[in-house]
Each structure stands twice: as C-alpha cells, then as structure tokens.
Structure 1
Amino acid sequence: MPEALAFARLEWRDGQPVSPEFGDGYFGSDAPLEEAHEVFLEANDLPRRFARPGTRMTIAETGFGTGLNTLLTLREWRARAPDDGFLSLIGFESRPLHPDDLARAHQQLGLDGPDAERLRDGYPPPVSGLHRIPFPRARAVLTLVFGDAAITLPQLNAAVDAWYLDGFAPRRNPGLWNIGVFRQMARISRPGTTFGTYAAAGQVRRDLEAAGFVVRRKPGHGRKRERLCGHFHDPAPPALPETRERPRRVAVIGAGIAGLSAALALQDRGCHLTLFDPAGPGGGASGNPAAVLLPHLLPDDPGLNALALTGMRHTHALIERAAEGLEEGRSTLLLGDSVAFHGISAHARKRVQRLRARDPAESGYLFDPAATAPAGTPGPMLEYPGGRAVDMGALCRGLAAALPAVERTGVSAIEPHATEVRVTFDGDHPARGFDAVVIATAGAPLCPEQARLGTVGGQMTRVQHPLPGPDFRVRTGQGYWIQRDTDDHWIGATYRHDGLPADPAAPPEPTAEDDRHNLEHLAWVPGMPAPEDARITQRWTGMRAVFRDRLPLVGASRMDRRGRVMLTLGHGSRGLLYAPISGELVADRLLDLPEPLEQNVARRLSPQRVA
C-alpha cells in the first residue's frame, strides 16, 4: 500500500548538503563528480559498455539522494550511446529530497542542465512505490523507487546490468547495507552484473560475497584508502532451456490508444516498429472526441489504487508528449483540467472516508475531499486536481506523429515459429515475419485470450445551449459534462450491452434514445436543457472491449511459450487511465527491462487470469 513519506531534513554546511538524521553528507569528497565517475561509472566499465551497438542497459542505484549519479550517467550516455540504444535507470530512496533542495544541489554540482530540469519537473510527491520519469531525447527512463529498500526491492521486476551502491555510510545506515538487501540485489542481477561502491567495510564485503558477488578491493578516491567493486556470479542454470535475443523488429496490431502507447514505448527502446490498423490512428473507440481521465479508487483494494496512481502519472506524461506532435499543440488536445465528481452516494462517501483513513498519502494526491459543490449542484463533491478531459482522437494523432505511418492493412492470423512470429494479412498481401508482435485490437480473433472479451457500446452527444460559466472543469457524477465553450458541450456517455452491431469492430448507429439518456443523466447541471428542447449538433458512438473484471490483459499470450506475442487488450472505458502504463509494461517485459509496476500490481493485469 502506498504510504506518505517525509521529505529528507537537510542542512547546508559550507555549501555541502548534510543529513542531520544520519549524521553524514550527501557528497563523499570535495570533488563529488570526479569521485562518482571513478567509483561508479569507471568501476562498472560504463564508458566502454555504453558505446556497444544496440546497447540496452539497466543500472540500479541504492541511495538516489541528489540525483548526482543519475545526471552524470545520463551525460556519459548521451556522449557515447548508439542511436538504437536505451538506458533504464533505477534509483532507490527512502528519504526523498524536497524539490527546492534538489535544485540547490544541482546548481552546486554544476549539473543544472536539461536533464536536471526534466528530473525536477517529473519528480513525484513523497509517496512510496514506483515512479517513472522519462528522458525521451536521451533514450532513457528513470524509475524512482521510494521507500525502504528492504520492502521495495522484493516487489521489483527487473534484470540489472550494473549497480551503484551509494547511500550514507554503512555504520550510519545499516538498513541499506545488509545481507537481506544484497540477496534481493542478487535476485535481479544477471550473471556478470557489475557493481561499484565507495564502501570498503569488512562486513559489507563478506555480505556481498555471501549473496553471490565476487568482490575486489580498489584504491579509494581522495582521502579514502579503499573501495569495493566486482561482479555477480550465478552458477545456477537458466530457468528455461532456450534463450532469445531481445526483439528488434516488432509489429503492433491496433493503432488505438493501447497500440500507440505500446508502439511509442518500444520505439523509445530502440525497436523498429510496424503498425497495422485498417482504420488508422484512433479510428475505433480511441477516436472519442471527449474522454475523461480520473482514477477509480477502492478503500479495500490498495493494489488497484496503486495502479490508478501510476496510470494517472503516465497518462499526464503521454498527453504532454502527444501535444508536441500536433500543430495546434496542447489546446486542441486538452479540453479541461480538473474533474469534479458530484453527488456521490452515502455508501460512496463512507468508502472515501475509509480510504482517507487507511491511505491518506494516496488519496490526498488524487483528490481533494474538502472541495464543496457550487450552489445548485448536488453534493457532496470530490475534486480530482489531476483529472483531465482529452480529445482522444487528437491524442492518437499526436502520438502517431512520432511513429512510422500506420499500414492500413487487416491482420488475419499470427503464427509463432522457431525463428520469428509470422503475420498473415487480409487479401493478397504476403505474410511477413517479425521478432515479436503486440496485439492491441479487439477486431479479428488473433489469440485465445480474445475469446473472453466482451463489447459495450457507448454514445456521446454534443449540445449547443448557453449554460452558466465560464467554468471549464469537467463535471461528472451520473454522466459527465465537458464544456468546450459557454454554449458548446459534450455530454455522455451511455454504456449499452444491448443493440450491438453484427460486426463487433463497427460502431453502433447513434440513437435519439441515447441522446435522451445522456441529457437526463445530467439534468442536475444548472441550465441543462430538457431532451425535447436540446439542440444536438453532433453524435459519436464507439465499441469498447472489456473483460468481466473491467481490467485489461497486459502481458504474454499463452499462444507462444517464448513470450514473443504480447497483449494489451480490454481497456474498455478506462483506456485513457490504463493504456499508457500498459504500453510501458508491455515494452519493458518484452525487452527484459525494469517494469513500471510492482509485482503484486502487475499480477492483477496478467493474461493468465482468463486462461
């Protein structure tokens, strides 16, 4: 369960940051950049390893602190990495610094450049768990893991290539330097994984050796006599009798929000992408002209709440990135900031109160329970400051602008073979082979898991009518209302299991009955016209693909035991919340990179649950 963490207490002594709690400084010498380069980058042979063609590396650091090692590593990576490389960084921190202290430290270090600004802009609130900060122009991503390493490490899915063992001195911070932590490091280390540390204590060396690391002594930096470095030696055979190279040529089938999110994450990681969708980007349900992003919280389900928290952050980042691909920019894409949820029931109010009592850090970040409903609207009201209204069609177009052109060809079959996954197309198009395939469409049945998919039709209604304003917060409760202008509004949306079209991929025909439903559901909005008086200017319908538990399937399909066929399916009406984080999960799992979700959260999305 996510927990609130206190910012680290920091004192500046002679221009150096010091922790009064641990009685130790954040920098180990008067030349912290030179020490970090020698103790961590050179000890792990990173300048040479970075320059190898096709390099995809994972570096983990215990004791993230000021971000010095991360920023120095990014600088070295930018200077040496190949164009098709990708760097995944992991930083563990139990006492996150306040952003103001981060900024001062970066200035003191002379590292206050674009990467430091990106780090501070994406720095998460002090809540335990996994937090992602992408550096797309550097072809890198940082996963910050807040909380006690002894608790967070066992929940991490990763395969690490190099370790920085940093943090306060072992005698002052024994919780980070012990056999339990080192065994968890060994669990996620590859054979041959290297490490470097400024520490040289005998107990640290003995515990590392007991966990399976080969340890060497080296001369220390500056006044320090010795330091340690070495590598992990794992004599155990691999779990599977066959191994596979990380795929480079990947086909993504489906160019909705799920497919585009996965494609962008894979392209960032150096894969060569081919996208297929007869309808083009956002041509199906992902073309919704006005969708709402808000979390779905349950007081007795911390795993689902953690997924919502992570999903909100990933979607925010993807919205900003998509805006770069649109000529009109953010104004076209983002239709409203903040979502007000009106008229929650007495039962729901009790749920919220229990959530606040059990999980104040998480719920406080996601919504403001003290918000009050304006006069004339039903209360009580919850306000989600991180909520958004988004033109999904524009979002898809913005994402597609950064990807290869979508091939408007239907896929009829997928066949895993020994050396490739073969894709067969509709019509006379010849079959093509790929290293891996991502299925992100509910169209033609391509994998056994799609047999469990259901479909739900939905209709939105655009109404021209003057309403009190201007207040461009999204309002939701029974139905939702997105105000484009003082007399231009999208309202919706229905959720129908009946009257669906014969072709599951085709949208249902709009109906006057669904217009009436949308208007009646929003009769609580002051000034909303009665159905018989409404001037309707536009309708939109779509088919949502859902599984029974309303969660998507994200992970490997059982049709290929080598894990080369990945799924991101069944996002339903919550695609804006779940699809971006699912795309990252698919890409990282396919390429054997650190995953963005804790094990117990990622397990909720596993395709095995419908096997």
Structure 2
Amino acid sequence: MPPMPLSPCSISTAITESPRMNKHGKEQPDRTLRALETASIDWEASFPRSGHYDDIYFSNSNGPAESRHVFIEANQLRHRWSTLPDKSTFTIIETGFGTGLNFLCAAQCWAEHGPDTGQLQYLSIEKYPLAPADLARALDPWAEFNDISKQLIANYPPPLPGFHRLILKPPGRKAPIALTLIFAEAREALAQLQSTTHPALAQHRFFTADAWFLDGFAPAKNPDLWTPEIFKATAQLSHIGTTLSTFTASGQVRRGLSAAGFSMSKTPGFGSKREMLVGSYSGHTDITESEDEGEPSQPKPGVRREKQSDLPWHIDLARAGRELARHSRASRKHIAIIGAGIAGCATASAMANRGWRVSIYDRHGQPGAEASGNPQGIIYPRLSTEASFLSRLNLAGLRFASHFYQLFWKNKPGDQGLPSGVLVLPEKPTDVENFKRIAVNLQGCEDFVRLLQGSAIDEVSGISLAADIGLYFPGLGWIDPVAVCEQLASHPNIDLETATITGLSRDADRGLWRLESSTGTHTATTVVLAASNSSSAFELSQHLPLKPIRGQVSIAPAQNQSRALKTVICGAGYLAPADEQAAHTFGASYNLDSLSSEVEVQDHQRNIDTLIKTDPTLHSLLGEVKASQLDGRAALRCTSPDYLPLVGPLPVFEDFVENYGGLKRDARADIPLSGSYWPGLYVHCGLGSRGFTYAPLGAEILASYICGEAPVLPNDLQKALNPARFIIRDLKRKRI
C-alpha cells in the first residue's frame, strides 16, 4: 500500500481560568468551558483594522513585503534555513497571530529554502482570534499563498481557548509544517509552554525557540504584550543564539529585552518606519531578584511553601539532554512499538512521518486484532460545561480526530468509514440543561458543535426520533478500525512483525532496548508500550494501574427503515449507520464481572436495553431484533483509575518512591526534585472506550515528546496524562 500522506489536524484544549467568588467571599478560578471573544474587525477597503486596539494588522501598502522585511530578513531565515542539515527542526514562536500573514510568509520561505526532510514548528499566540470569515477575507488578496492559506482556512480552529495544532503540507514537500495556534493571553500561553513553574527548576527547557516574531500591536496600544514578565518568559524559552525581531523601536521594549538576556540593536524599519528592533539571546540577564516577582530561593526538600508550586516530578533532568542528543543521530532513529491496535499504529505513523524507522510487534501479526477490531469505531463526543482535565482532553481529542480521519473518509468513502456526524441525545433530564449551557458557552463554534431541537433532529438523523433536543457534531463520524490501522501501518518506514514480546531490558552500554520473544531478540533505541492491558506485563511497567473492562458490540442487519439513518446516534449507548456490509453496530456493553472475549447473549440483551434507553424508536428501527439473532464481537478495554489515558515516559518506580517519599508524611510537601524515567521507554495505553478519539492525539503528543518538539498540549494537561501521576497520587494517599 502507498504511504499515508499527512492530514491537516488541529488540537485544542482550554487553558484559561477567570476568577470568581465562592460562597465564603474568596476568589477562585472560573473553570467554565467557553468560547473566546473573536477579534473586532473594522474593514478599511480590503484591509483589516483591530477594533480592540485601534491599530492595523499589516501595512496597507504591501503586507507581505512588510512581514518579510521585519521577520524573515531580520531573523536571517533564508540563510539559516538553506544551511540546515536534513531532518532538522526549526522552531518559531510568535506573539500575535492576527491574520496569519507572518506565518504564510515563513511557510513560503521554508518551502523554498528549508531542508526537504526538515520540519518547521511554528507556534503563535493570539488573544482575540479572527472569526473564520474574517480570516478568509483578510488573506483573499494574497493569491501567492494559496497553496498553504487554503489549508489554513479549511482547518482553522473555532474560537476555543487553548492549544490548536494544525499539520499542514506544503505541495511538493516531504515533511509537514506544524502550526500550533494558542488562543490565550500571552502570559498564560507562555507559562503553559514552559516545563515547570517550580523555582528550583525554572531554567529547565525541554524545547526552545530558534526565532521569535514579536508582532503584538504597538506597546502604546497593547501594553500587556510588552511587559517584563513577557520578556522574561521569552528568554526562558530561548537558547544561546535564538534571534528575535519586532516592528517597534520602543526604548522600553529594547531595555526590557536587554534586561532579560537579549543583545538588542536597531535596524532600518519597513517603508516609512525609520527603525525597528532585532536581537539575539546571550543569556546575560540584568533581572534582579526583586524584579523577578520576588520568588524565594530554592526550598529545602519536604518544606512547605506558602505559595504552592507544581512539583516537577514530570521532568527528567538527568536523562533529557542525553536522550535528545541520541535522538538527533538519524542513523539511530529506530523505535519499537509493542501492539498494533489504534494506539500503536497511530504512534507508528506519527514517528514514521518524522523519518524514524519503526518496528511494530504484535502477537497476532495484523493490525486491529483485539479491542481495535470492531466493525465500526465511533468518534464519540462527550463535552462538559466544566474545564476539567477530562473534559479538556475530550475536547482536544475530538478536534484532532475530526481532522485526522478526514483523509481516510476522503480517500475511500465508505471503505474506511464516513463523516456522518454524531448526534448526542440526553441520557437524563439534567443533560437537557447542560446541552443548552454548552451551546451558549460555545457560541461561534457551530461548525464543531451545535444544539438541535424539534424537527431539526429528524432532518439531521434521517429518521424520526422521540428526543426533541440534542448536540450535533457535524465533523465527526465512524471509522472502520481495521482498515484505518492497516493504512496507518502501511508507511514504507514501518515493518509489522508477528511476535509476542515476553521480556524487556535495557542495554545501557549500547544505549539500546532488548525485546525478547519466541522468535528471538530484537533491539531498538526507543520503545513504546501500546499493548493495551498487556502494557503492564513487564517488570518495569507492572506498577501501571491498568484495569481491563469487557465490552461487547452487537451487530444487526440493516432494515429498510434503518437504512435511512444518516448519522451516529449516541446517548446511553450508540447506533451507527449501516456500513458497506449493510449492517449496524450498536452497544457497547460495560461488563465489570467478566474478562471473557466470547460473545454472550446476555450482553446482547444489555445492548438492546441500552439502545432503547438511548431513544425508544431505535430498537424498532432495527425490526425489534432479538438478542439471540444478533452477531457481535467482544474484547477488553484498557482503562485507568482516573479515566485519562497514559501517554508519556515510563517512570522508574523505585526512584519515585525514594525521591518523593516525603509526600506520605505531608501530601503538600514541596519536593524540588525532577522525576526519574527509563531512557527511551514510553507508554500509550489506557484509552478506555474512547480509543479512536484519543489515539491520534496521543500519538502526536508522544511523537512530539520523543523528538523534543514543542508541546502539543498545555503543560498542566500534558502532565495530567503522565504515567507517573499514579505513583505521586498513591504516595500522597499512603498506598505505597
């Protein structure tokens, strides 16, 4: 099969918290999940002007020429990119995405001068994102960017706060461009890009920018973007030699950046503007302790702090530098992935697309043979009005999956699933009010989710339902899991071998992992455990608290009336439209009392009962089929205690217990120690019943982490997925 081209994808997850008062009169964060205010645009002919800041987005005389002068040429990007080695990554961080014109200029320059196998990582922060229609109008005059601007417009995220990664493919290029849009205030966004806020490890940098585009509106118009705090964060995300440029020549900006460690100078500006600023990070800071927000000196282990910092257990200082140096050697970029389900195949594809050689080991020797092998996999949405970790991850997973699977739906419509949309019906009376609140909170996001009532529900579903209200997700649908897994594993860099891995050990002298199986010994520099519940079968991973839960889907033949169903119906259970074999899948059972993979009639009956609970009309739609007449499939889900997946490096259990043992005496103790992780050993499992929603996102998270790229999610959410979280939790609860 031909290699699978990269699809444009987007990730989003809320990071903002506005203060509110509790019943005791104390301020507490407002964790409501809601859409952002979009940019207020005043149009001057065909050029946009910000209503919030009363300032122009770009020069009315020649916007692209201004962007190239101020940012491309001032950062010497043509020369730097033309001399980059193959498979290099170059990272730009921008403050102020605006219309995206700077990004388009950078993408065009990268396509012309960057290494064909290299990747451009472009992160851009925006407090007031343009509405999609305004973005399209603003970019319409610049036909020279059509190849990439059409992709940007087609995949531009709704105004949801948080991180949105878009994977865009310039024509004729082997490697994609990763555009990460961060819709938030700059202070919040930069804090979430940093590895930790703990003062003892504040200088730790997992990734850094190679160049900065400081393109907020003028300091007099937008002072919040030009503060000492912003300048300090800019320095903390830079390495020696990182460059920056900005249109302003403000003395305040020059002095602030100089104090943060940048060597600053003036250079001629664009057009009638006499001067602008350029700089390079030297690391020589003039910031004093009093200017540094009065942070205290490094605390002693176990001592409480008045202001709690996030414990830096997710950081591995001892190995990070050595591992990144090792990964930079292309000849050793070989990763072994244990498991060929959706988690393993998606991870394999993400690594192969980054130029790695991938070996998948699976005991069945074929993709999607266990829990990922159902006839239809639903991209299942479940939103909340609260911005909890779980609801934020659900939102992020849905946004990414909705674009990730578009490629499969477009290439072979019906063979690999359909973008049928998903209609979620209320399970209980309180859901009705929650649906209405979600619709209000997410106004402006109707292309992602919208509230349907009355006859609109029947029009969208194609059938007559008893429900009179629901949430509709037009960009979602169902996939054929086996076909998708096979396509993901078809990349020429991927080999799939039949092998049951029974042993895993580290050859520290050679920097390799040894994988033992009945067919022999296999080696790789990096390993990912993506074998569902079997991920905890090894001595090094046996501490992972994975729980198998049996699930059975029922399969019913399509009836004349059921063929009219156009969209997936979800509620207490789900019913998918008929597939290419004229069959409907529905379910799925949630059985805690059995670990059997045999199809059971009683679980078919449970699925029928759940289907009726979802909507009374659905069983009759299937001809009131009997449980004994149904076909089906059963497998074991892999779940975690907090229902969040495990995505990240595998911790060294004994080291964590020793280093963080003080948490057993005081759960709030401040222990300023980094974590301890096995070098080059990672986990991607615990996806539960949302494997097809979470797996593409988890694969991108893991690939970015392994390759030392910019983070896919905000730091707090990425930390919430770290497999070491359960060791920390159990220490605090005195369970270890």
TM-score over 0.5 (shorter chain): yes
Q: 1:278 to 1:239 in 2, by over 3 A?
A: closer
327, 334, 347: which is aligned to 1:262?
A: 347
CA distance in 2, matches of 1:143, 1:221: 27
Q: Is the Cα contact below 8 Å between 1:341 and 1:476 reproduced in 2?
A: yes
Single out whichever of 463-472 and 157-166 deviates more from structure 2. Answer: 463-472
13, 32, 38: which is aligned to 2:63?
A: 32
Q: 1:218 to 1:418 in 2, by over 3 A?
A: farther
AA matched with 2:576: I
Query: Which residue pairs with 1:541 in the alignment?
Result: 634
Q: 1:266-295: per-residue Cα shift (whole Å, max 9, x none)?
A: 233333323222322222211221122222
Q: CA deviation at 1:84?
A: 3.0
CA distance in 1, matches of 2:238, 2:642: 35
Q: Is the Cα contact below 8 Å between 2:345 and 2:488 reproduced in 1?
A: yes
AA matched with 2:603: D
Query: Which residue pairs with 1:122 in the alignment?
Result: 155
1:330 aligns with 2:413: yes
Report the secondary structure of 1:406's partner residue. Answer: strand
Q: Which runs of 5+ in 1 are unaligned?
A: 502-507
Q: Is the Cα contact below 8 Å between 1:482 and 1:489 reproduced in 2?
A: yes
CA distance in 1, matches of 2:80, 2:362: 38
Q: 1:199 to 1:331 in 2, by over 3 A?
A: same
AA matched with 2:107: L
Q: Is the Cα contact below 8 Å between 2:126 and 2:182 reproduced in 1?
A: yes
Q: Which runs of 5+ in 2 are unaligned?
A: 1-15, 17-32, 195-206, 286-314, 328-332, 459-463, 653-675, 728-736
Query: Which residue pairs with 1:421 in the alignment?
Result: 512
Q: CA deviation at 1:37?
A: 2.2
Q: Is the Cα contact below 8 Å between 2:362 and 2:498 reproduced in 1?
A: yes
AA matched with 2:490: A
Q: 1:347 to 1:154 in 2, by over 3 A?
A: same
Q: 1:419 to 1:194 in 2, by over 3 A?
A: farther
Q: CA deviation at 1:557?
A: 0.6
Single out whichever of 392-401 and 227-236 deviates more from structure 2. Answer: 227-236
Q: 1:401-426: per-residue Cα shift (whole Å, max 9, x none)?
A: 33523222332333332552313231
Query: Which residue pairs with 1:504 in the alignment?
Result: none
Query: Which residue pairs with 1:496 in the alignment?
Result: 591
370, 380, 383: which is aligned to 1:294?
A: 380
Q: CA deviation at 1:56?
A: 0.8
Single out whichever of 514-523 and 58-67 deviates more from structure 2. Answer: 514-523
CA distance in 2, matches of 1:438, 1:300: 32
Q: How many residues align?
A: 598
CA distance in 2, matches of 1:273, 1:47: 33
CA distance in 2, matches of 1:287, 1:364: 32
Q: 1:122-141: per-residue Cα shift (whole Å, max 9, x none)?
A: 10112221112111454211
- Backbone CA RMSD of aligned residues: 2.8
Query: Which residue pairs with 1:575 in the alignment?
Result: 691
AA matched with 1:89: Y
Q: 1:474-498: per-residue Cα shift (whole Å, max 9, x none)?
A: 1222322112069732122112233
1:340 aligns with 2:434: no
Q: Is the Cα contact below 8 Å between 1:290 and 1:335 reproduced in 2?
A: no
CA distance in 2, matches of 1:582, 1:495: 23
The 5-angstrom pairing of residues 182-221 of structure 1 reads: 182-221=231-270
25, 33, 36: which is aligned to 1:5?
A: 36
Q: Is the Cα contact below 8 Å between 1:183 and 1:211 reproduced in 2?
A: yes
Q: Is the Cα contact below 8 Å between 2:650 and 2:678 reproduced in 1?
A: no
Q: Is the Cα contact below 8 Å between 1:520 and 1:531 reproduced in 2?
A: no
Report the secondary structure of 1:142's partner residue. Answer: strand
298, 309, 313: which is aligned to 2:395?
A: 309
Q: CA deviation at 1:184?
A: 1.8
User: TM-score, normalised to structure 2's length?
Assistant: 0.75
The 5-angstrom pairing of residues 127-166 of structure 1 reads: 127-136=160-169, 138-157=175-194, 158-166=207-215
Query: Which residue pairs with 2:75 in the alignment?
Result: 44
Report the secondary structure of 2:80's partner residue. Answer: helix
Q: Is the Cα contact below 8 Å between 2:420 and 2:478 reproduced in 1?
A: yes
Q: Is the Cα contact below 8 Å between 1:22 and 1:168 reproduced in 2?
A: yes
Q: Is the Cα contact below 8 Å between 1:4 and 1:360 reproduced in 2?
A: yes
Q: Is the Cα contact below 8 Å between 1:55 and 1:81 reproduced in 2?
A: no
Report the secondary structure of 2:632's partner residue. Answer: strand
The 5-angstrom pairing of residues 468-507 of structure 1 reads: 468-469=561-562, 470-484=564-578, 488-501=583-596
Q: Percent identity?
A: 31
179, 186, 190: which is aligned to 2:228?
A: 179
Q: Is the Cα contact below 8 Å between 1:510 and 1:541 reproduced in 2?
A: yes
1:565 aligns with 2:596: no
CA distance in 2, matches of 1:29, 1:370: 42
Single out whichever of 290-299 and 589-598 deviates more from structure 2. Answer: 290-299
Q: 1:418 to 1:205 in 2, by over 3 A?
A: farther
Q: 1:419 to 1:201 in 2, by over 3 A?
A: farther
Q: CA deviation at 1:534?
A: 6.5
Q: 1:346-382: per-residue Cα shift (whole Å, max 9, x none)?
A: 244455456567x445997764344346555356544
CA distance in 2, matches of 1:487, 1:600: 45
Report the secondary structure of 2:453's partner residue. Answer: coil
Q: CA deviation at 1:554?
A: 0.9
Report the secondary structure of 1:330's partner residue. Answer: coil
Q: Is the Cα contact below 8 Å between 1:29 and 1:222 reproduced in 2?
A: no
Query: Which residue pairs with 2:450 in the alignment?
Result: 368
Q: CA deviation at 1:323?
A: 4.4
CA distance in 1, matches of 2:120, 2:357: 17
1:412 aligns with 2:443: no
Q: 1:220-276: per-residue Cα shift (whole Å, max 9, x none)?
A: 23322222112223369x993562216232222222111222222223333332322
Q: Is the Cα contact below 8 Å between 1:22 and 1:172 reproduced in 2?
A: yes
Report the secondary structure of 2:103's partner residue. Answer: helix
Q: 1:533 to 1:352 in 2, by over 3 A?
A: closer
Q: 1:370 to 1:320 in 2, by over 3 A?
A: closer
Q: Is the Cα contact below 8 Å between 2:343 and 2:699 reproduced in 1?
A: yes
CA distance in 2, matches of 1:493, 1:601: 28
Q: CA deviation at 1:566?
A: 1.6
CA distance in 2, matches of 1:528, 1:259: 35
